[in-house]
Amino acid sequence: MGFLQNKRALIAGVASERSIAWGIAGAMRREGAQLAFTYQNEKLRPRVEKYAATVDSDIVLPCDVASDDEIAAMFEALAGRWDGLDILVHSIAFAPREELEGAYLEAATRAGFNAAHEVSAYSFTALAKGAAAMMEGRAGAMLTLTYLGALRAMPGYNVMGLAKASLEASVRYLAQSLGPRGIRVNAVSAGPIRTLAASGIGGFRKMMGFFEQAVPMGRGVTIEEVGNVAAFLCSDLASGVTGEICYVDGGFNMVGMSERFLEQ
Ligand code: NAP
């Protein structure tokens, strides 16, 4: 029996088979969870429906997380299918492409800052409000995806780093708000992975090259590896863990200088 047997998970952020959310869906399904998915716009619907069917799900709902009305309608539709929810996965980020090129100071604009924070940070809180209402009386768990650029300056990551810092703070504040209701809130901070979102970051290829030079494990991480940790954090096996940022990055975040550099 899988460790997520009888759990119901809502997953937001599947755009392709390379999406981190898809790695999480695979791990959660393998461990026995029932899954529901959201998609941002109609263009993506057939694709997400096709992916959902391969993990035995026919719950695929529209939800642009920039709209409170769409979020409310999505949870209303979900409540029509499920009488409760155990897991929320938020695997969503957006910043205008021009914000992710060149130096932060030159690239940053008020509008870009607001858009990045609204979609990449506030949307987790917005989804948490709706999810928490469906988690009453259950040992609920919420999870979001973040990146080391929240803590350290990374060229090209720019305003997304600021939004991830806000997202990480919201993990802690949500964990505090929801702890008394038995709901846990955590994040996985993943190493760089080639996905659609990653392709929008200026210099991602070089960022990946730098990572591979320094990472103790000598290789990148996979969406399956992120998925396994996400599944664990959202399971009762992690019942004592909340407000944490858990790194799945091959150890890159803790390295000051690479041993491989000495060998060069
Ligand atoms: P991805 O496959 O492109 O997923 C990003 C998702 O966000 C897409 O499904 C996208 O939908 C969705 N999205 C954007 N704006 C939205 C909105 N307004 N409403 C609803 N959905 C919206 O890329 P990914 O790399 O898996 O990203 C997932 C998460 O992991 C993000 O938070 C990202 O920052 C984080 N992360 C990624 C990496 C990495 O290296 N890839 C590393 C650490 C953390 P559309 O395609 O329809 O826009």
Question: Which residue minimizes the CA distance to atom 23 of ligand 1?
Answer: 197
3-state secondary structure of 191: coil
Distance 247 CA to ligand 1 centre (A): 18
The residue whose CB lies within 8 Å of the most ligand 1 atoms, and thus the one to mutate among 10, 11, 19, 22, is 19
pLDDT tens per residue, range 71-107: 999 999 999 999 999 999 999 999 999 999 999 999 9
Question: Which residue minimizes the CA distance to atom 13 of ligand 1?
Answer: 92
Distance 97 CA to ligand 1 centre (A): 13
CA angle (160 as vertex; 200, 143 as ends), nearest 5: 100
Question: Which residue minimizes the CA distance to atom 33 of ligand 1?
Answer: 93
CA-based Rg of the chain, rounded to a whole angstrom?
18
Give the position, in ligand 1's atom list, of the atom nearest the Cα of 22.
Answer: 26
- What residue type is assigned to position 264 of the chain? Q
**C-beta of residue 92 within 8 angstroms of C-beta of residue 164:** no
Instruction: Please give the model's pTM, rounded to 2 decimal places.
Output: 0.98
- For residue 204, the model assigns a pLDDT of 87
Q: At 94, phi and psi to the nearest 5?
A: -155, 140
- For residue 222, the model assigns a pLDDT of 98
- For residue 86, the model assigns a pLDDT of 98
Distance 120 CA to ligand 1 centre (A): 9
Distance 177 CA to ligand 1 centre (A): 25
Segments in the chain below pLDDT 50: none
Which residues, at least 6 apart from 69, have a Cβ–Cβ distance to it below 8 Å?
Answer: none
Question: Which residue minimizes the CA distance to atom 21 of ligand 1?
Answer: 40
The secondary structure of 97-162 as a DSSP string is GGGGSS-HHHH--HHHHHHHHIIIIIHHHHHHHHHHHH-TTS--EEEEEE-GGGTS--TTTHHHHH
The residue whose CB lies within 8 Å of the most ligand 1 atoms, and thus the one to mutate among 41, 143, 145, is 145
Give the position, in ligand 1's atom list, of the atom nearest the Cα of 147.
Answer: 43
Give the position, in ligand 1's atom list, of the atom nearest the Cα of 146.
Answer: 44
- For residue 259, the model assigns a pLDDT of 84
**How far is residue 84's CA from residue 70's CA, in Å, rounded to a whole number?**
19
Question: Which residue minimizes the CA distance to atom 29 of ligand 1?
Answer: 91
Q: Give the active site residues.
A: 147, 157
Residues lining ligand 1, judged by CB closer than 6 Å?
Answer: 13-16, 19-21, 40-41, 44, 64-66, 91-94, 119, 145-147, 190, 192-193, 195-198
CA angle (18 as vertex; 16, 24 as ends), nearest 5: 95
List the structure tokens of 242. Answer: 């909340």
